[in-house]
Structure 1
Amino acid sequence: MKNYSSENFLDLNAFRGTGEDPVYHPPVLTGRPRDWPLDRWEEAPRDLGYSDFSRYQWRGLRMLKDPDTQAALHDLVQEVRPRTIVELGVYSGGSLVWFRDLTKLMGIDCEVIGIDRDLSRCQIPDSEKTNISLREADCSDMATFEQFRDLAHPLIFIDDAHANTFNIMKWAVDNLLDQGDYFIIEDMIPYWHRYSPKLLVEYLAAFHKVLTMDMVYANASSQLDRGVFRRS
């Protein structure tokens, strides 16, 4: 079995593209009224009529985490009580503000760090950046991550950038994660398992001596599906 330290991982994210408008817009129904008449209750459509992600927001900022994921991360934060939460992929910044507010309500002294190569999409107003740090780094250039070596622990690292993930994970294991810290891959595991299953299984197995999968949270939502790993 291969060891993660000797691997140069291909970017499995290349098998599926992502990208959306970072600005939050309330859902818009097309082809049906929002106010449905009760004398036609039985005829009402059962589907939402819009994408689920259209309505996920925190204080007016888009937040691409569904309710099941929010609930699971709430419990994980309460259990770990992290001093640092790192989210790779800032987008509009809604989840950064959510994490900051969540840890504040829980009485946790925590710095929330958002990392992106393009911070221009971030919509967080300056008045809301207390305990939130925005930093630039490029997933294709691991040297840009050297600035993150000395962060407070316990630590939760969430990969939501979908770029060069396994080499990022390799760097985090070697340079950042202490025992009990978390590395979380959101969204992508089911797609990799569908489109590149052999490489996915091989890449995950390479980390078997340094990471374990936390089965309390790895099955908690479709976004976290088999992607919640703890430094062993």
Structure 2
Amino acid sequence: MDLNAFRGLGEDPLHRPPVLTDRPRDWPLDRWAQAPRDLGYSDFSRYHWRGLRLLKDPEAQAALHDLLWEFRPRTIVELGVYSGGSLLWFRDLAKLMGIDCQVIGVEKNLSNCRIPEAEMAGISLHEADCTDLGALEKILGDVAHPLLFIDDAHADTFNVMRWAVDRLLHEGDYFVLEDMIPYWHRYSPTLLEKYLASFKDVLTMDMVYANAGPQLDRGVFRRTAAKG
């Protein structure tokens, strides 16, 4: 499933101000009571960071902000880059919080990434198939911890998750599944529960953040046992 197209983003990685087709943007105040109460456009498409699509709902933004402040990761990895807006957002937040943090983005096709070259400090991009565990090993084999690992690529997720648990995550590190759990729970709940249960000895769900909104719904996990 192409979630960008599914949620109405099309193929434009840049933010564009919403266009209202059914009402004027400047509403007259002598008709204040008659003004429509809905937005008149998809609110998800307006979320951006410094002009790049962010693809994170306000609830997810707030939860990840709080997680960064509490966890203070030395490395943030995001599989799935799109415009690069979230990489830039993570880098800027960490810098504002005084966290020495490297942000790493892995994407099969970086053609949509629009991070300006002058803004790449603290960010590294890698064009690789996110399902290629050998490639992930080469890219991430020597990252600093604590580590926040975010799967936003939605491809071969549970094999990537197993690899991360077995080969990458240290005790206390986070693995976050964005977007997909509500869909999996709706269409394949038994299989989802079976897959998640297979991690019961090595991961727990952090209930402070796992109910923060639909994007992070029951998908914020913490490594509980030291890496073998």
TM-score range, shorter chain: over 0.9
Q: Which runs of 4+ in 1 moved over 4 A?
A: none
TM-score if structure 1 supplies the norm length?
Answer: 0.91
Tell me if structure 2 keeps the 8 A contact 1:193–1:200.
Answer: yes
Is 1:132 the counterpart of 2:117? The answer is no
Alpha-carbon separation, structure 1, partners of 2:165 and 2:131: 17
Asked if residue 178 in structure 1 is aligned to residue 170 in structure 2, the reply is: yes
Q: What's the Cα RMSD here? A: 1.0
SS where residue 133 of structure 1 aligns? strand
Q: Could you list the runs of 5+ residues in structure 1 that have no partner in the other structure? A: 1-15
The residue that corresponds to 1:45 in the other structure is 36
What letter matches 2:3 in structure 1? T
Q: Does 1:60 align with 2:45?
A: no
State TM-score, norm by structure 2: 0.92
Q: Secondary structure at the match of 1:156?
A: strand
Number of corresponding residues: 217
Q: 1:94 to 1:17 in 2, by over 3 A?
A: closer
Tell me the distance in 1 between the aligned counterparts of 2:20 and 2:75. 39
2:134 maps to a residue whose letter is A
2:200 corresponds to 1:196: no
Check conservation: 1:26, 1:54, Cα contact below 8 A: no
Q: Can you list the C-alpha shifts for 1:134-181, whole angstroms capped at 9, x where unaligned?
A: 012213322211111211000000111111111110110011100000
Query: Is 1:71 the counterpart of 2:56 in the alignment?
Result: no
Matched position secondary structure for 2:125: strand
Q: Secondary structure at the match of 2:3?
A: coil
Counterpart AA for 1:32: R
- Identity %, equivalent residues: 72
Q: What is the match of residue 206 of structure 1?
A: 198
Aligned to 1:193, the other structure's residue is in SS state helix
1:99 aligns with one of 77, 84, 90 = 90
2:16 is paired with a residue whose SS is coil
* 1:152 pairs with one of 144, 152, 158: 144
1:90 matched to 2:75: no
The structure whose RCO (Cα within 8 Å, separation 6+) is larger is: 1
* 1:166 is the counterpart of 2:158: yes
The aligned residue for residue 217 of structure 1 is 209
Aligned amino acid, residue 61 of structure 2: Q
**In structure 1, what is the equivalent of residue 7 of structure 2?**
none
1:6 maps to: none
Deviation at 1:29, TM superposition (A): 1.1
Report the equivalent of 1:25: 16
Distance 2:127 2:163 in 1: 17
CA distance in 1, matches of 2:159, 2:68: 25
Secondary structure (helix, strand or coil) at the match of 2:207 reads coil
- Per-residue CA deviations over 1:168-226 (Å, capped at 9, x if unaligned) read 10110011100000000011111110011111011000100010000000011221110
1:85 and 1:128 map into 2 onto residues whose CA distance is 17
Shift of 1:38: 1.3
